[in-house]
Amino acid sequence: MVKPWIKDKIDTLKDGEIIAGCNVDIEGLVSLTILNYPMTIISSLEPTGSFLDDSVVCNIGLLRNLAKINFPENPDPFSSITCAMVRLDKNASIDTYLDSIIGISANVISVTDLQIKLQNEIGMFSTILTLLLAVIMILCVIAISSQFYMMIHMRIKEVGYLRSIGMTRSQLFRMFIMEFGLIGLSSGFFGSLIGMALIGPMINWVRSNLTMPVSVVDIKFMLIHLLLGIVITLMLCLISTIIPLIITNRLSPHEMITKGEL
Amino acid sequence: MFELTIEKVTKQYSGNDYQAVKSCDMKIKSGDFISIQGESGSGKSSLLLMMSGLLPPTSGRVLWNGESIYDMSDNALSIWRSKNVGYLFQNVQLVQALTVRENMLLSRSFGNDPTLDIEALITLFGLEDEANKLPSLLSGGQRRRAMIACVLSRDPLIVCADEPTNDLDSVWASKIMAILNDLKKKDKAIVLVTHDSRWITDDQIQYVMENGELNQA
C-alpha cells in the first residue's frame, strides 16, 4: 500500500517537500503552492482506499508557521487544522494517544486498521483463488487424462502391434511418458508465454480498479513464472498420462489389436 | 535348434460358452513348415496367437525348449516374442506415423540381428519405391509385403503367418510363399494358417482344424 521506501522519505521529509495521495491531481507538476509557499512534490502514494488518497503529506511544523502567517486574524491557527497524520510506534495504543491530546475530539481513521482489514480481505481472496486454482487443476487433470486416453485408444492397435513385436510394458510406458511430456513441455511454454503477455494489462487493470497492492513485474518475475508455468503444465500432463497408461497396459497385445478401431 | 510344444491348449473367450480351441497338441521344431487349414471361425488364429505368446490359453501350456512361456514375467515374455516369434497378422499392422523403412528399422531393433540388411529385404519385397512412404499411402498388397518385410527384419526363429497371401495378387502370393519356404533352409520354422489349399504342399506338416479341434492330416 505504502511503498517500503516511503517510511524513510516521511521520516526525512524536509520543509517544502510534499508527498501527494494518488487522487491529488499532480500530473506533469513538480511543485505546488500551498498557503503561498512553494512545495516540491517528491513522490506520490499508491492507492490506499483511505483519506490519504486525497491528501498531501508535508511537515506539520512548517504548516503551523504558514497558518500563522496566512491567517494572522485567527488567534488559534491550529483550529484550522482539519486533518493530521500521526505515526505512532508499533505497539502504541491509539486510544491512549487520543486521550493525551486534551481539548481535541478527533475522528480517528487508523491506517494500521485499514491495513489489517485489507490484509484480511486479500488473505480471504487468496484462499478463494487457491481453492479455485485447485478445482481448475483437478478439472485439467481429468480433461487431459480423457484426451490422452482418447489419443492412446485411437492408437491402441498400433500399441498392440508394438507389444507383439516385443515392446515391453515399461518401454511402452516410457514412450508415452516422453510423448506426452513433450506435449506438456511445449504447451506449458507457449501457455506461459501467452500468460506473460497478458500479465501487464491485467496488473494495470487491477491497479486501476482495485485497492490492493500488486506485484512488481520485472524480468526476474517473468522468468520465474514462465518456468513455473512450464513445470506445472509438465506435471499436470505427466499425472494425466498415468491413468490412461495403466488402463491400456492391462490389455494383452491381442486384446489391443482386436479392440483397435483403426 | 529349438522346440515349441503346445500341450493340451484350450481357449474359451470370456462371454462365450464354447471353446474356440479344444485341447490341442503340437510340436514345432527348427526347419518345420507347418500348415493349418480350416474354415473361418475354426480356431486357427486363436491357436496361432497362443503359440506366439500373444494370447494366454484358458488351460494347457506352451513350452519353449521345455519352459512354459506363459509362466514367464511379462517383460521376459515380451523379449521372448521379440527374439523368437514373427507374427504376420491377418490384418496389416504397422506404425502409421513411420515410413516403411522406418517400420523395418524399428522392427529390426527388437530382433536378433541389429545389422540385418534392410535394403536387401526392401529389394526382395519389391518395395524400393515405397520404402520412404507412409503405410497409409500404400496399396493393400504393398502394405502386406511391407508387413512381411517388417516381420523378417527381426530375423525370428518362428514365423507365424495368418493368411499371409491376403491382399496379394497371384504373382506376389507365390513369391511370398517361396520366401517363407526358403526360411526352412535357415533352420527357421514356419506355421502357416490358411483356408486356401493352393499353398498346401506335401513337404509341409499338415494339420486341419475343425470346430476348435486340431488333427494331423
Question: How much is the ipTM here?
Answer: 0.89
Please tell me what DSSP assigns to residue B90: S
Using CA atoms, how far residue B51 sits from A105, B7, B172, B185, in Å, is 100, 10, 27, 22
pLDDT for residue A83: 67
Min distance B7 CA to chain A CA atoms (Å): 21
Say which of B55, B79, B82 has its CB closest to residue A254: B55
Burial of A73 (0-12, 13-18, 19+ CB in 10 A): exposed
**Mean of the per-residue pLDDT values of chain A:** 81
Structure confidence by residue, pLDDT tens digits, B68-84: 999 999 999 999 999 99
Q: Which residues of B touch A168 (CB under 8 A)?
A: 74-75, 78-79
pLDDT-based confidence at residue A22 (cuts at 50, 70, 90): confident
Q: What is the DSSP string of A162-182?
A: HHHTT--HHHHHHHHHHHHHH
Which strands sit side by side in the sheet containing B33-38, from one edge to the other? B85-88, B158-162, B189-194, B33-38, B205-210, B213-216
Structure confidence by residue, pLDDT tens digits, A156-184: 888 889 999 999 989 998 999 999 999 98
Min distance B141 CA to chain A CA atoms (Å): 18
pLDDT for residue A215: 67
pLDDT for residue B41: 85
Side-chain half-sphere CA neighbours of A41 within 13 A: 19
Q: Is the pLDDT of residue A237 over 90?
A: no
Its domain, for residue B9, covers: 3-216
| Contact call for residues A214 and A207 (beta carbons, < 8 A) | yes
pTM tops 0.95: no
Please tell me what DSSP assigns to residue B168: -
In angstroms, rounded to a whole number, what is the distance separating the alpha carbons of residues B61 and B25? Answer: 9
Q: Which three cell numbers stand for residue A171?
A: 518401454
| Phi, psi for A83 (deg, rounded to 5) | -155, 140
Please identify which residue in the block is written with the cell numbers 515349441: B4
**CA-based nearest residue in chain B for residue A260:** B93
Q: Which residues of A touch B54 (CB under 8 A)?
A: 164, 252-254
> Residue B206 in 3-state DSSP?
strand
Structure confidence by residue, pLDDT tens digits, A127-148: 999 999 999 989 988 998 898 8
Q: What is the DSSP string of B115-151?
A: T--HHHHHHHTT-TTTTTS-GGGS-HHHHHHHHHHHH
For B:87-106, CB contacts with A below 8 A are 87, 89, 93-96, 106
pLDDT for residue A1: 34
Burial of B62 (0-12, 13-18, 19+ CB in 10 A): buried
Min distance B72 CA to chain A CA atoms (Å): 13
**CA-based nearest residue in chain A for residue B85:** A165
Find, among B41, B43, B62, the residue nearest to B51 by Cα.
Answer: B62
Q: How many domains does chain B have?
A: 1
pLDDT for residue B77: 93
In angstroms, rounded to a whole number, what is the distance separating the alpha carbons of residues A88 and A165? Answer: 80
Please identify which residue in the block is written with the cell numbers 502370393: B173
CATH code, domain carrying B138: 3.40.50.300
pLDDT-based confidence at residue A8 (cuts at 50, 70, 90): low
Q: Averaged over A217-223, what is the pLDDT? A: 82
Say which of B75, B93, B154 has its CB closest to residue A161: B93
pLDDT for residue A2: 42
Q: Which three cell numbers stand for residue A114?
A: 485499514
Q: Averaged over A110-139, what is the pLDDT? A: 87
pLDDT for residue A44: 83
Please tell me what DSSP assigns to residue B164: T
Q: Which residues of A touch B75 (CB under 8 A)?
A: 168-170
In angstroms, rounded to a whole number, what is the distance separating the alpha carbons of residues B38 and B195? Answer: 6
- State what percent of residues in chain A have pLDDT above 70: 85
Q: Which three cell numbers stand for residue A236?
A: 499436470
Min distance B107 CA to chain A CA atoms (Å): 7
* Ranges of each domain in chain A: 5-109, 113-259
Min distance B159 CA to chain A CA atoms (Å): 12
pLDDT for residue A6: 57
To probe the interface with A, which of B50, B72, B78 has the most A CB atoms within 10 Å? Answer: B78
Q: Between A225 and A75, whose confidence is greater?
A: A225
A and B: number of Cβ contacts within 8 A: 53
* Chain centre to alpha carbon of residue A176: 37
